[in-house]
Every structure is written in structure tokens, then in C-alpha cells.
Amino acid sequence: MTQPNNRKKLFNIAIALLIVFNCIQIYGIVTHTVTRTASAQTIQDDTTHNPIQINVLNGCGISGVGSKMTAFCRSSGYDVVEMGNYKSFNVEHSIVIDRNGKMEDAVRLAAVLGISKGNVIQQFSNDQMVAASVVIGKDFQSLTPWK
């Protein structure tokens, strides 16, 4: 009779171990899901982690300023989707143009670049598929990428 009792004890121990293993698995799943959900929500609420799409336009006519500004913007987390020339090369002061109505994003971009808040304007355009445009003026050497 000792053999059936030993089997019964081993069976009970195996069941107990399976229950403990399942509890550990459930605990891991629940805590990982809660942590991941909280982290995703934090990132979603923090707009600095949502890169906005911008274009960089040369408004001063100096060769190479667009490339330097583009590299700086990308290293700062902005998605530069286009680089080109502005409609004229007579822009005295660099500006940021809000294209989608989110002025706070344009103001934040201007601050990163060293452009004063007074040089942030709104100009909606169906032709522009970006959130903001950076127009580099003749004052480019005073901007953050050149300091």
C-alpha cells in the first residue's frame, strides 16, 4: 500500500507545482500588460515623442544652409520630408510657418531652432502636406544649428 500512497503524494505535488507555475505566469502577463499600457499612454500624451513632419526651405540663397538645418532638425527628432528653396531669397528673418493649425507644435519647433515666437505664423495650404515649414532667412547664423 505504500506504493499507491507515494503515487498519490507525487500526483498532489505535481498538481501543486502546476498551480504555482500558472499563478506566476498569470502574474507576469498582468503586470507586463499594465506596464506596457501605461508606457504607451505616457508616450501618446507626450507630444514631444510624436515627430511632426516638416519641410525646410532656403529663403536666404546661401548654399548649404538647408542641408545643415535639415540635419539639425532630424537630430532633434523632427521628420524632415522635404528640403528646397522658398519662393524668394529675400527673407531677412527666419520663420516657422504653421500649416495644420497646431500652433503649439510650430512654437516648440521655433524654440528648438532659436527662432523667436514672434516669427511663427499660420498659413494654411492644401498644397503643403507638412505640419510646419522652416524658412531660413539671412539671419541663419544666429540660429541654434550655427551656434
pLDDT tens, residue order, the chain (147 aa): 567 788 888 889 999 999 988 888 887 777 765 544 444 444 444 445 568 999 999 999 999 999 999 999 999 999 999 999 999 999 999 999 999 999 999 999 999 999 999 999 999 877 778 999 999 999 999 999 999
Three-state SS across 106-127? HHHHHHHHCCCHHHEEECCCCC
> Hey, what's the cell of 39?
508606457
C-alpha to C-alpha distances, 116 to 34, 61, 113, 141, nearest whole angstrom: 41, 21, 9, 14
Q: Domain extents for the chain?
A: 2-45, 48-146
Angle formed by the axes of helices 65-75 and 103-113, nearest 10°: 110
CATH of 48-146, picked from 1.10.3720.10, 3.90.950.10, 3.20.20.80, 3.30.70.2390, is: 3.30.70.2390
pTM flag (> 0.75): no
